[in-house]
Amino acid sequence: MQLKKIKIADLVARNNVFLAPLAGYTNCVFRALCHELGAGLTFTEMVSAKGLCYNSRNTRELLMLDGYADGIKAVQLFGGDPYYMRKAAESEDIAPFELIDINMGCPMPKIFNNGEGSALLKDIPLAQKIVTECKKSGKAVSVKFRTGVDEKRIITRDFAVAMRDAGADMITIHGRTRDKIYSGEVDYDQIALAKSAVDIPVIANGGVFCLEDAEKLMLKTGADGVAVARAALTDPFIFARLTGREVGDKKIYIRRQIEDTFRLFDERFAVVYMRKMLAFYSKGMPGAAGYKLRLFACRTRGEIEQILEEMPF
């Protein structure tokens, strides 16, 4: 894959292989892991603008930072009200972040039915107003969106142009419509159409599980980079392969992930989170089903670490 730096307003990402936001998983420890393995840019889990404005403790926990001295600090906000989006963007909670990514692609019913996420694809003026208000924070702003709500309402190019015109410094396009959720073929042509229509960086997202997938996505869309999502959960080492990095003993990285997760989060969360992560990592291994059964029975850090030592990475 052809690597290059990506300029986002006055920020520069060290390469064009990004970790997409993943609700429930891209906490600061996992982001730091992916960054170390080669990801040029990582994002927080999506954070509710209203949750921040109403002082939600759970929302604030998503903004924890650790180990990002040499990487762009990027937060993903979601919301359907320009007032709350600007208020959140200008808040002390967001102050440490240099880039605000606006979620206009989440397909989940709870988000969509509340007029947020991919529901904004139905209202371009509102989507533009949200970008304009977030830009008033003085921070760089990007937008992540889908090709449309469904096959009858494909608006990729028009939406890309509208986001650029509203002031977005970068866009990421998930090459599926909202109704497809995460299944179906990626629409390379729509991403390519958007790329040809704007002069800001365009990142392509969807269906990247190996180097060949990333190269195909870049070739067919002309995008400036790729964003890896679900593949990172089962194999964060994909970033090393995409960026040509040597890894060595994979267990060293996972041991550190366990250590940092237990250092930064309470034990109950850390146990549940790390047993899920190791279950993801076991995908495709001999005896994967057995590892998963044992992992979900774990109650302590020691039990998780014991299973890690047995896993054939």
The residues assigned a catalytic role are 106
Strand partners for 227: 18, 205
Cβ count within 10 A of residue 235: 19
Phi, psi at residue 251, to the nearest 5°?
Answer: -65, -25
Written as one letter, the residue type at 307 is: I
Copy the structure tokens of residue 28.
């600061």
Written as one letter, the residue type at 54 is: Y
User: Cα dihedral angle (137, 120, 157, 74), rounded to 10 degrees?
Assistant: 40
Could you tell me which residues come within 8 angstroms of residue 9 by beta carbon, excluding any fewer than 6 positions away?
A: 140, 141, 169
Looking at residue 176, the DSSP 8-state letter turns out to be: S
Task: Tell me how far CA of residue 256 lies from CA of 207, 210, 239, 259, 271, in angstroms.
Answer: 28, 24, 17, 5, 14
Do the Cβ atoms of 262 and 309 come closer than 8 Å? no
Dmax over CA atoms of the chain, in Å, equals 55
Task: Tell me how far CA of residue 286 lies from CA of 77, 124, 231, 291, in angstroms.
Answer: 39, 49, 19, 9
Alpha-carbon gap, residue 201 to 72, rounded angstroms:
16
Element (H, E) at 144: strand 140-146
Cβ count within 10 A of residue 53: 18
Could you tell me which residues come within 8 angstroms of residue 216 by beta carbon, excluding any fewer than 6 positions away?
A: none
